[in-house]
Amino acid sequence: MNDDFDDYDDDLPNGEDYPTLLSVIRFNKLLPSVSWFRSVGLDMGAGTLNTAQAYVDTLGFPGTFTTPVENWEEAAFAAANPDWNSSWWETEEQLRVSLTNEALELISEDDLNMALTHISATAAPLIQNTVENLAQEQGIEDEELVRAAIGSAVQTCHQAALVLAAGEEDSHPFALKYKLFELGRWPIAITGNSFNIF
């Protein structure tokens, strides 16, 4: 699946000239080791709570509380809630655009697009298999919910790759959001003053 991406890694004329691109390539190779959604529905430990708090703080939403989502039914409600905080979505979109512009100062548009395409190509089937297996095991028949979970995780991989491509730090909100997925969680959305995490 990633052979051509690995070949591209080998074909770089001088890896030191492309440090952020190489970071994205390494990130791509680590995606299969993530235990996607393994902790959904479980009690939240300090690592999850601290990461969630850091995410909302660095994103610029102080006073937002982490709200545990306890089961798939609650997750479906949170994911479909029409009262999503539009400022949250707009802030993430502004960050995405800013990171893209920063990355394009370091990497050509073709290289960036190729790297992000490979991130999606690696992440999507891994995440899809995990979520579909979980749904089958737990009797979840809500296909829209399954698609929402898959889409959210794949999008976060894309966002995390942009952080690396732009040479940003692991304290960036998108890196923290990805860390929540690494912790086995699904950070669903900020609704009002609640950051809903399954």
Q: What is the pLDDT of residue 40?
A: 95
Q: What is the pLDDT of residue 192?
A: 87
Phi, psi of 184 (to 5 degrees): 90, 10
Q: What is the pLDDT of residue 11?
A: 46
Strand residue runs (E) in 36-177: 65-68
Inter-residue contact 129 to 190 (CB < 8 Å): no
Distance of alpha carbon 177 from alpha carbon 197, whole angstroms: 11
- The predicted model scores a pTM of 0.90
65-105 per-position pLDDT tens digit: 999 999 999 999 999 876 777 899 899 999 999 999 999 99
Q: What is the pLDDT of residue 106?
A: 93
- Report mean pLDDT in 10-residue bins for the chain, 198 residues: 46 59 94 96 95 97 94 92 81 97 94 94 97 93 94 97 96 98 96 93
Neighbour order of strands in the sheet with 194-197: 65-68, 194-197, 187-191
Q: What is the pLDDT of residue 131?
A: 96
Q: What is the pLDDT of residue 17?
A: 65
> Of 76, 65, 81, 51, which Cα lies nearest the Cα of 174?
51
Q: What is the pLDDT of residue 116?
A: 95
Spatial neighbors of 38 by CB under 8 A, at least 6 apart, are: 184
What is the chain's mean pLDDT, rounded?
90
Distance of alpha carbon 195 from alpha carbon 186, whole angstroms: 11
